[in-house]
């Protein structure tokens, strides 16, 4: 065994570059590697017409060089089952303080194309040194937590024995399941194993956590990059840091945030976006032609929004073609009232204190449009087959014909094309002509990082796997600057959650956020049940200044969704998309829900400066020994607000809840006010508590 050791860690590797030993020297719980992973690295190369020559580390021959705090493994050629390739692989591991720093380089001296490179591979792991099996923290959008992840994976049905049960996330972004950050972790809350990429070019990547055949409960973690290393090229892999330390995940999150601040853009946001209380999303005209809300009904829509405590209308399908149709060219609808009617009624909403954003698609191109047929196809992302990455969206409501036989097909734009970037800039000006307060560009805050193979596009470094991320950086930066040239208060919104793309926008239309079942968090704390729970504090703690709406596709806000939004400091959202939604909201079909969400809004408004302008610090200042009580903190200077939620069926006594160094000055539920922290909180109740830092200097 080759060993690296300092005051923080002891790490051991075998002659195939596999991690076989890892111990936290400051805790002394012993080796956490139950057995080495099968491979230290994996690779795939294309040779001739064969695109899937898989290279496995355990089948290669390495030479090893030992230096102080550093190991280097070198393989002069790579062997797959069907072919050999003169690709030199250099793998390095350096012990740098409390981190193992993994690096690699590929030197391609053959007529092959290296498409996939997986390194490092960490595992296999069953325990971090305690009786509680480790949980996985996974940055799917705002975050997920898989308690007892090894057992969770073992319960996923296998399609074939050769394919282990696994969880994976593409980065940056995805649809449905999209990676929002470059780090994952295993934790039992007493010890944490953090696995963190440090890629400042943002290659198309995938995090994967796999179960182990024949070893129930064991997991391995790995990171795959798509480098597309051509003949004659030497590629340096972005570094990956691995740490094992005593404590929970917050330390790893702080380290990741500190690194992200070295590349993440900062820009001033419109003041009204910081204060936005709720996003009331409406589709004026649907894909299949149904016209639901005319422009002269915008004031009525704003009245409905206000009745729920919302202050912003987000108009989708406000254009003549209807929602998800004829992108990217949108035209104002004469049948909905025409341009002057739209402008006039936007002004009426604004005169009542509201704001209006208009929708613009920034990713999809309708393949039936004149735009696509007359040159727009030049800007689409092209797969290795020379075909577009087609996506289909169907907004049928009642018709089986529409649902089954009329999927609307779109190509997607390669954002590296300067012409597409310029067009999207112009669309911001187009929206501003109607007097709106901002624009929401759909999908460009995420989606898959499609590698584009159109060599006529100016991809960064000539890499298909940088076409999306580097192109999006340019695109988003241009839109952000254009919107602020229109007005510093003209907002730029988009959909999806990522650390990279969110840096350029003012607010995110959140994806796949939703309240967990009652009591799920209490079971999560026990850590033995294998289950997945939505875990938005993962992203919120790393990037607290990023405003995210709670995506809610209902024409009402369920009480649990309102409480969830309150707890995590998210923006409220509800959606009125179909005729049934319109009928229900006009009939006030859920008055109890409407009244409750309005009360929750009023409770937040009581401490709005801290909820909206303070920093989400999760549980950092808190001590919470109350079973069933969920608590999060927001800090602004010498003041703090804690959001509490009794997510149990029994009253919770608050004697076990403290904020050391802070004194409670007042508190309130949706129905009552207190001069200090009350003694208990009823089942399902939420409570806001205002604190003042003790010993503060005025």
pLDDT tens column, 185-214: 999 989 999 999 999 999 999 999 999 877
Consecutive sets of 10 residues in the chain, 698 residues long: mean pLDDT of each?
95 96 92 95 96 96 95 96 95 97 98 98 93 94 95 80 78 91 95 97 97 86 98 98 97 98 93 96 95 98 97 97 95 97 98 98 96 96 95 90 92 98 97 98 94 97 97 98 98 97 95 83 82 95 96 94 96 95 97 97 96 95 94 97 96 95 97 95 97 79
CB distance 423 to 342 below 8 Å: no
- DSSP structure string for 87-107: EEEEEEEEEETTEEEEEEEEE
Q: Is residue 603 part of a domain?
A: no
- Of 74, 78, 76, which is closest to residue 63 (Cα–Cα)? 74
> Kindly report the CA angle at 615 between 683 and 522, in degrees rounded to 5?
30
CA R_g for the chain:
26
- Of 329, 333, 396, which is closest to residue 365 (Cα–Cα)? 329
CB distance 44 to 120 below 8 Å: no
Whether 193 and 278 map to the same domain: the answer is no
DSSP category for residue 387: S
Whether 256 and 275 map to the same domain: the answer is no
Q: Is residue 520 part of a domain?
A: no
Give the separation between CA 279 and CA 429, rounded to whole angstroms. Answer: 22
Is the Cα torsion angle 114, 116, 117, 121 positive or negative in sign?
A: negative
What are the counts of helices (DSSP H) followed by strands (DSSP E) for the chain? 16, 41
DSSP category for residue 380: B
Q: Is residue 161 part of a domain?
A: yes
Buried b (16+ CB within 10 A) or exposed e, 132-161: bbbbbbbbbbbbbbbbbbbbbbbeeeeeee
- Count the helix, strand and coil residues of the chain and give each as a percent rounded to the nearest 5: 25, 35, 40
- DSSP structure string for 123-177: EEES-SSSSSPPEEEE-BTT-EEEETHHHHHHTSPPS-TTS--EEEEEESB-SSS
CA distances from 86 to 75, 80, 118 (A): 10, 11, 18
- For residue 697, the model assigns a pLDDT of 55
CB distance 662 to 621 below 8 Å: yes
Q: What is the CATH number of the domain that holds 54?
A: 2.70.98.90
**How many domains does the chain contain in total?**
3
Q: What is the CATH number of the domain that holds 669?
A: 2.60.40
Q: Is residue 116 part of a domain?
A: yes
CA distances from 213 to 154, 531, 596 (A): 9, 20, 49
Q: Is residue 35 part of a domain?
A: yes
DSSP category for residue 470: H
Q: What is the CATH number of the domain that holds 399?
A: 3.20.20.70
Whether 206 and 353 map to the same domain: the answer is no
Residues whose CB is less than 8 angstroms from the CB of residue 353 and which lie 6 or more positions away in sequence, other chains included: 311
Give the separation between CA 311 and CA 302, rounded to whole angstroms. Answer: 7
- DSSP structure string for 111-133: S-EEEEEEEEEEEEES-SSSSSP
Instruction: Determine the angle formed by the axes of helices 298-307 and 339-351, rounding to 10 degrees.
Output: 30
Domain end (from 451, 475, 507): 507
Whether 232 and 255 map to the same domain: the answer is yes
Whether 286 and 400 map to the same domain: the answer is yes
User: Is residue 44 classed as helix, strand or coil in its secondary structure?
Assistant: strand
Give the separation between CA 343 and CA 437, rounded to whole angstroms. Answer: 11
User: Is residue 559 classed as helix, strand or coil in its secondary structure?
Assistant: helix
Buried b (16+ CB within 10 A) or exposed e, 163-190: ebbebebbbbbbbeebbbbbbbbbbbee
DSSP category for residue 375: T
Q: Is residue 522 part of a domain?
A: no
N residues, the chain:
698
Give the separation between CA 498 and CA 169, rounded to whole angstroms. Answer: 12
CA distances from 523 to 126, 530, 565, 681 (A): 20, 10, 21, 20
- Of 235, 189, 222, which is closest to residue 45 (Cα–Cα)? 235
CB distance 118 to 42 below 8 Å: yes
Whether 616 and 662 map to the same domain: the answer is yes
Give the separation between CA 185 and CA 499, rounded to whole angstroms. Answer: 17
Both ends of the chain: CA-CA distance in Å? 59
Buried b (16+ CB within 10 A) or exposed e, 562-591: bbbbbbbbbbbbbbbbbeebbebbeeeebe
Whether 236 and 348 map to the same domain: the answer is no
Q: Is residue 548 part of a domain?
A: no
- Of 146, 136, 124, 132, which is closest to residue 31 (Cα–Cα)? 124
Whether 316 and 238 map to the same domain: the answer is no
CB distance 355 to 437 below 8 Å: yes
Whether 324 and 387 map to the same domain: the answer is yes
Regarding pTM above 0.75, the answer is yes
Domain end (from 194, 229, 260): 260
Give the separation between CA 221 and CA 226, rounded to whole angstroms. Answer: 17
Domain end (from 260, 279, 311): 260
Q: Is residue 570 part of a domain?
A: no
Give the separation between CA 542 and CA 546, rounded to whole angstroms. Answer: 9
Whether 338 and 422 map to the same domain: the answer is yes
**CB burial of residue 490 (10 Å; 0-12, 13-18, 19+):** buried
Long-range pairs of 77-85 with CB within 8 A, sequence gap ≥ 24: 78/43, 78/45, 79/55, 80/45, 80/53, 80/54, 80/55, 81/53, 81/54, 82/50, 82/53, 83/47, 83/50, 83/53, 85/45, 85/47, 85/53, 85/55, 85/110, 85/112
**Residue numbers of the domain that contains 31:** 2-260
- Of 252, 257, 352, 337, which is closest to residue 302 (Cα–Cα)? 352
Whether 242 and 188 map to the same domain: the answer is yes
- For residue 266, the model assigns a pLDDT of 84
Give the separation between CA 469 and CA 202, rounded to whole angstroms. Answer: 6
**CB burial of residue 518 (10 Å; 0-12, 13-18, 19+):** middle
- For residue 418, the model assigns a pLDDT of 98
Give the separation between CA 37 and CA 13, rounded to whole angstroms. Answer: 11
Whether 255 and 281 map to the same domain: the answer is no
């Amino acid at each position: 065994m080759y060993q690296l050791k300092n005051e923080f860690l002891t790490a051991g590797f075998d002659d195939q570059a596999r991690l076989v030993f890892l111990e936290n020297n400051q805790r002394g719980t012993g080796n956490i590697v139950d057995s080495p992973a099968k491979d230290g690295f994996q690779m795939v190369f294309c040779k001739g017409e064969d695109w899937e020559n898989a290279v496995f580390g355990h089948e290669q021959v390495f030479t090893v060089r030992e230096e102080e705090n550093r190991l280097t493994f070198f393989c002069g050629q790579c062997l797959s089952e069907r072919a050999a390739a003169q690709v030199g692989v250099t793998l390095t591991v350096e012990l740098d303080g409390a981190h193992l720093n993994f690096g690699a380089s590929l030197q391609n001296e053959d007529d092959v194309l290296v498409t996939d490179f997986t390194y490092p591979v960490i595992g296999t792991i069953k325990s971090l040194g305690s009786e509680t099996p480790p949980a996985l923290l996974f940055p799917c959008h705002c975050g997920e937590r898989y308690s007892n992840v090894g057992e969770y994976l073992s319960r996923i049905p296998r399609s074939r024995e050769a394919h282990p049960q696994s969880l994976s996330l593409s980065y940056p972004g995805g649809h449905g399941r999209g990676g929002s950050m470059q780090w994952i972790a295993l934790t039992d809350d007493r010890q944490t194993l953090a696995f963190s990429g440090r890629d400042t070019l943002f290659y198309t990547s995938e995090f994967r956590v796999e179960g182990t055949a024949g070893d129930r409960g064991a997991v391995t973690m790995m990171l795959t990059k798509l480098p597309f290393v051509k003949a004659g090229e030497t590629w340096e892999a972005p570094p990956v840091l691995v740490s094992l330390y005593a404590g929970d995940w917050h330390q790893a999150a702080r380290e990741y945030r500190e690194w992200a601040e070295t590349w993440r853009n900062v820009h001033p946001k419109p003041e009204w976006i910081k204060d936005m209380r709720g996003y009331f999303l409406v589709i004026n005209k649907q894909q299949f032609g149904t016209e639901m809300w005319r422009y002269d009904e915008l004031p009525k829509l704003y009245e409905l929004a206000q009745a729920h405590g919302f202050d912003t209308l987000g108009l989708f399908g406000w254009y003549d073609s209807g929602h998800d149709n004829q992108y990217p060219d949108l035209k104002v609808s004469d049948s909905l009232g025409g341009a002057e009617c739209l402008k006039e009624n936007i002004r009426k909403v604004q005169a009542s204190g509201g704001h209006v954003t208009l929708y613009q698609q920034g990713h999809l191109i309708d393949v039936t449009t004149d735009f696509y047929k007359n040159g727009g196809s030049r800007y689409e992302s092209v797969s290795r087959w020379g075909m577009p990455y087609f996506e289909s969206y169907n907004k049928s409501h009642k018709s089986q014909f529409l649902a089954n036989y009329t999927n609307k097909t779109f190509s997607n734009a390669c954002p590296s094309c300067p012409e597409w970037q310029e067009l999207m800039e112009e669309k911001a000006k187009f929206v501003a002509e109607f007097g709106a307060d901002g624009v929401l560009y759909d999908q460009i805050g995420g989606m898959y990082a499609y590698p584009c193979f159109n060599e006529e596009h100016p991809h960064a470094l000539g890499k298909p796997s940088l076409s999306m991320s580097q192109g999006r950086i340019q695109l988003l930066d241009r839109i952000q600057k254009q919107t602020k040239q229109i007005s510093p208060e003209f907002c730029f919104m988009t959909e999806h959650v990522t650390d990279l793309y969110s840096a350029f926008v003012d607010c995110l239309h959140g994806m796949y956020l939703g309240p967990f079942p009652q009591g799920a968090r209490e079971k999560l704390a026990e850590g033995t049940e294998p289950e997945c729970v939505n875990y938005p504090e993962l992203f919120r703690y790393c990037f607290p200044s990023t405003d995210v709406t709670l995506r809610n596709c209902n024409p009402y806000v369920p009480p649990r969704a309102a409480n969830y939004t309150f707890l995590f400091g998210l923006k409220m959202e509800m959606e009125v998309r179909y005729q049934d939604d319109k009928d229900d909201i006009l009939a006030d079909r859920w008055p109890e829900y409407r009244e409750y969400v309005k009360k929750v809004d009023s409770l937040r408004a009581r401490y709005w400066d801290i909820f909206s302008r303070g920093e989400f610090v999760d549980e950092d200042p808190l001590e919470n020994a109350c079973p069933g009580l969920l608590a999060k903190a927001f800090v602004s200077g010498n003041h703090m607000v804690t959001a509490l939620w009794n997510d149990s069926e029994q009253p919770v006594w608050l004697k076990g809840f403290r904020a050391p160094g802070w004194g409670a000055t007042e508190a309130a539920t949706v129905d009552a006010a207190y001069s200090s922290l009350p003694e208990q909180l009823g089942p399902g109740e939420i409570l806001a508590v205002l604190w003042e830092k003790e010993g503060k200097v005025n």
